A and B are shown apart, each in its own frame.
Chain A
Amino acid sequence: MWLVVTLFVLLGFLFSNAGGNTYFALLTEPRMMISSPPVVLQTGTVGNSTIYTNGTSARISAVAPISAPTDYNFVLKVVNNVSDHWKIRLKTYSQSKIERLNNCTIYFRNVSDGFSGQVYIVNGNYTLQTGPWYDWPASAAEIYIAVTLQANNPEVSYVNVYLEILIPDKTTYAQYVLTFEFT
């Protein structure tokens, strides 16, 4: 009896050892360097904008009138510091009290080719939350962000968006945080 048990135990060890696996390891060594952003934000000439350290995030304040829509055609400037061309767009990620906004249009424009609507709020609801990719013209070193506003009461609304900057023909992109405060 004991002999049989012993044999089973020994065979058990034998089979468990025989059931091994083959492994190999690939090695990846990423190296991250903190770099100057190629695109930076600068203040506009209307509304009230605050640019944070390094020019990669901003807070934009503007008054939303109750009577009639007002167009702030230059609340923020986006400046290209390198020779690369980009695609850019706005993408909302959070908000508060937008129900008071009868009309809120956030758009890009440059000196020569006008308008690219990026975020629309109509009667308190989004009709566009992520804008289309806008080809930054090679001739323009700067793009302007502009806003058209109208509200139905004197509260404060916030629209938080990412300014996404994409390398053309790739899926590498940077996200800058922009906070719009509509009083």
Chain B
Amino acid sequence: MRKLKIIKNIKVKKSSKFLILLLASILVGTANAAIFYSLTMQPQVTVSTPIIKFSQAPDHPGGTVSDAWCCLTAKSYPNATLTYEKALYINNTDDTAHSFMLRYVSITPANGTADVANWNSIKFLVCNSSGYVCSLNFTVSSNYWMLAPSGGQTNYYSIPASGVWWIRLETLSPATATKGTVCNIQIAVDVQQ
């Protein structure tokens, strides 16, 4: 009977220790969670004109041109090359130089569809007063667009302070092209601010 009581006491002690340990753990955890402090950030976001922006050029083929977005509605003639020498201006309005590149985003008709064969080539050449700078070219092989550069983007090029460069657009369709067929392209101009 006495032995049994001793054993019972021992169990109570172990339980107590475990309980104390548990409480201590919770206490520590709670204390850790409480050690915080707060910094305050107050960003002020102002709607501004981008430092490099689009503007309408002398050979604007049609469509809307705004500072950061433009839609150009150009033509393509069967079996003839059509060139818009200054289709779109790229203006650096800042007093320091900035770098930018052309990056392919999307094109329709999609690769592999028969409508792709309505074009031989669509070329976007970046030019300045010294001549050619770089280009993003779409040529057609069978029903597939071939993009050059193959990575879908040009290198970065630095446009000087207050510089005005332009995009020369060239289209060429085969003699068998179907009139009324439309090609939509999205190209991003990525600017390092």
Contact = CB atoms under 8 A, between A and B. Distances in A.
B106 to A, nearest CB: 9
Contacts of B171: 32
B76 interface: yes
Interface string A121-165: 000000000000000000000000000000000000000000000
Contacts of A171: 58-59, 83-86
A172 B59 CA distance: 6
A29 B192 CA distance: 21
A23 B101 CA distance: 11
Classify chain A's interface size.
20 to 34
B75 A30 contact: no
A32 B83 CA distance: 12
Nearest to B122: A32
A22 interface: yes
A151 B35 CA distance: 99
Given A28-B70, A31-B63, A33-B73, A53 B79 contact: yes
Contacts of B189: 25-28
Classify chain B's interface size.
35 or more
A35 B75 contact: yes
A174 B177 CA distance: 16
Contact of B187 (A22, A28, A35): A28
Contacts of B70: 27-29
A33 B75 contact: yes
B104 to A, nearest CB: 11
Nearest to B187: A28
A8 interface: no
Interface string B30-73: 00000000000000000000101110001101010001111111
Interface in A11-46: 21-37
A102 interface: no
A158 B102 CA distance: 40
Interface of A: 21-37, 52-54, 56-57, 170-177
